[in-house]
C-alpha cells in the first residue's frame, strides 16, 4: 500500500497520524473523566452523562450568540467564558439531580441506571422543545479554526491541540482535588467506608452532592470543547455515551489512572486500525479486543484495592 509514496510523505503522515491518536486520546479522557468520577467514587451509573455534555454545548452556543450581540470585541476569547459557564450550568444541574433523584437510589445501583436513562430522555426532549429539533451551529473565533503548519507537509489541527491542552489541565486539576485537597480526602474516605467516614464527622451527603456536581460539571466542559469537533443537537450526547462507558469500564470502574490508561490504549488501537483498515472494521476489531480482555480480566485494567 505504501509503495507509491516518498519517504517524506510517509514521515509526514506518520507524524500527523501520531497526533490524530493523541487527539483521540484527549477526547476520550475528557469525555470519560466526569463519568469515571461519578461511577468510580459513587458507584452511580450515569446514563445521562451525554446530556450533561450537550448542556455544556448549548451553553457555549448561547454564550457565543450573546457575546456576538452584546460585546463583539470579546468574541476571540469567549470560549473560555463559555467553558466556565458550561461547568457551572452542568454542575448545578448535576447537584439538583443528585438531590432530587440520585440520593434516594444509592442503595439500589441498578435503579440509578434506569432513573438516569429516563433522565437522559427527559433532557433530550427538553432540549428539543427549548432549542428546536435541528442542530445548531456554534461559531468559533477565527484563531481556533484551521491548522498549524508545522512543516510543508505536516498540519496539526488547532482545535485538536486545544482539546489536548484542556484535557491535561483538567486532569491535573481533578487529580489535585481528589488526591491532595482535604475535600478529596473526604471523598476517598466516603468511598472506602461510608459508615466510618460519617462517624468521624464527614458530611457524606454533602460529599456525594459535590462529587456528582463535579463529575457533571466536567461533562459540561467536555461538551463545550466538543462543539469544536462535533455537532450540537438534542441527541448529540448519544454519540459519545457508548465510547465513554467503554473507556470507563475497560479502565476499571473505580480508578482514574485506569480511565486514562484505557483511553490511551483504546484511542491508539482505534486510530491505528482506522488508518490501515476502514472505519467500521476498526471499530469492530477494537470492540472485540476489549471484550476479549474483559473476559480474562473482568475488573478492567486497573482495579482499586478495597476491603470487601
Partner 1 sequence: MSDETKPGLKSPLRRKLLMGMAALPAVSMLGRPAFADVPATSAVNTTGLAVTDSEVTVGILHSVTGTMAISETGSVEAEKLAIEQINAAGGVLGRKIKFIQEDGASDWPTFAEKAKKLLVNDKCAAVMGCWTSASRKAVLPVFEQYNGMLYYPTFYEGLEQSKNVIYTGQEATQQIIAGLDWVNKTKGAKSFYLLGSDYIWPRTSNKIARKHIENHLQGCKVVGEEYFPLGSTQFNSVINKIKLTKPDVIYAIIVGGSNVAFYKQLKAAGIDLSKQALLTISVTEDEIDGIGGENIAGAYACMKYFQSLDNPNNKAFVPAFKKMWGEKTVIGDVTQAAYLGPWLWKLTVEKAQSFDIDKIAAASPGVEFKGAPEGYVRIHENHHLWSKTRVGRAKADGQYELIYETADLVEPDPFPKGYQ
- Footprint of partner 1 on this chain (CB under 8 A)? 5, 9-10, 13, 16-17, 19-20, 23-24, 27, 125, 128, 132-140, 145-147, 149, 155, 157-160, 226, 228-236, 238-240, 270-271, 274-275, 278-280, 282-283
Nearer to partner 1 by Cβ, of 4 and 306: the residue is 4
Nearer to partner 1 by Cβ, of 121 and 168: the residue is 121
Q: Closest approach of Cβ 189 to partner 1, in Å? A: 37
Q: Closest approach of Cβ 45 to partner 1, in Å? A: 20
Q: Is 232 helix (H, G, I), strand (E, B) or coil?
A: strand
Q: Closest approach of Cβ 263 to partner 1, in Å? A: 13
Residue 15's Cα: distance from chain center in Å?
25
Q: Provide the H-helix boundaries in 180-276.
A: 182-192, 194-199, 204-226, 238-251, 256-276
Burial letters 44-83, b for 16+ CB under 10 A, else e: bbbbbbbbbbbbbbbbbbbbbeebeeeeeeeeeebbeebb
Exposed (0-12), middle (13-18) or buried (19+): which is 270, by Cβ within 10 Å? buried
Query: Rounded to whole angstroms, how far apart are CA atoms 240 and 31?
Result: 8
Nearer to partner 1 by Cβ, of 232 and 255: the residue is 232
Q: Closest approach of Cβ 243 to partner 1, in Å? A: 8
Nearer to partner 1 by Cβ, of 93 and 228: the residue is 228
Nearer to partner 1 by Cβ, of 8 and 193: the residue is 8
Q: Closest approach of Cβ 148 to partner 1, in Å? A: 8
Query: Rounded to whole angstroms, how far apart are CA atoms 15 and 92?
Result: 41
Q: 132: alpha, beta or left, given left = phi > 0 and alpha = psi -120 to 50?
A: left
Nearer to partner 1 by Cβ, of 23 and 45: the residue is 23
Q: Closest approach of Cβ 106 to partner 1, in Å? A: 31
Residue 17: closest CA among 154, 161, 147: 154
Amino acid at each position: 500500500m505504501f509503495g507509491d509514496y516518498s519517504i517524506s510523505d510517509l514521515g509526514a503522515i506518520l507524524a500527523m497520524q501520531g497526533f490524530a491518536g493523541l487527539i483521540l486520546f484527549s477526547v476520550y479522557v475528557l469525555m470519560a473523566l466526569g463519568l469515571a468520577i461519578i461511577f468510580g467514587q459513587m458507584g452511580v451509573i450515569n446514563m445521562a452523562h451525554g446530556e450533561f455534555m450537550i448542556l455544556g454545548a448549548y451553553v457555549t452556543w448561547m454564550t457565543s450568540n450573546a457575546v456576538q450581540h452584546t460585546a463583539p470585541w470579546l468574541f476571540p476569547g469567549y470560549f473560555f467564558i463559555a467553558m466556565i459557564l458550561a461547568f457551572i450550568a452542568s454542575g448545578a444541574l448535576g447537584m439538583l439531580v443528585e438531590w432530587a433523584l440520585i440520593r434516594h437510589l444509592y442503595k439500589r445501583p441498578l435503579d440509578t441506571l434506569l432513573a438516569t436513562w429516563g433522565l437522559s430522555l427527559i433532557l433530550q426532549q427538553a432540549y428539543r422543545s427549548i432549542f428546536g429539533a435541528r442542530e445548531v451551529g456554534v461559531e468559533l473565533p477565527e484563531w481556533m479554526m484551521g491548522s498549524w503548519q508545522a512543516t510543508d507537509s505536516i498540519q496539526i489541527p488547532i482545535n485538536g491541540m486545544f482539546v489536548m491542552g484542556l484535557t491535561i489541565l483538567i486532569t491535573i486539576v481533578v487529580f489535585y482535588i481528589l488526591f491532595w485537597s482535604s475535600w478529596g480526602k473526604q471523598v476517598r474516605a466516603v468511598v472506602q467506608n461510608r459508615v466510618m467516614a460519617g462517624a468521624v464527622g464527614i458530611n457524606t451527603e454533602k460529599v456525594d452532592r459535590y462529587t456528582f456536581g463535579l463529575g457533571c460539571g466536567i461533562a459540561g466542559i467536555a461538551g463545550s470543547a466538543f462543539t469544536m469537533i462535533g455537532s450540537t443537537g438534542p441527541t448529540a450526547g448519544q454519540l459519545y455515551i457508548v465510547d465513554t462507558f467503554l473507556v470507563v469500564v475497560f479502565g476499571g470502574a473505580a480508578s482514574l489512572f485506569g480511565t486514562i490508561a484505557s483511553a490511551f490504549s483504546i484511542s491508539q488501537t482505534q486510530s491505528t486500525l482506522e488508518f490501515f483498515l476502514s472505519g467500521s472494521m476498526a471499530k469492530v476489531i477494537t470492540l472485540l479486543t476489549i471484550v476479549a480482555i474483559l473476559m480474562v480480566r473482568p475488573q478492567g485494567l486497573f482495579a482499586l484495592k478495597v476491603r470487601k
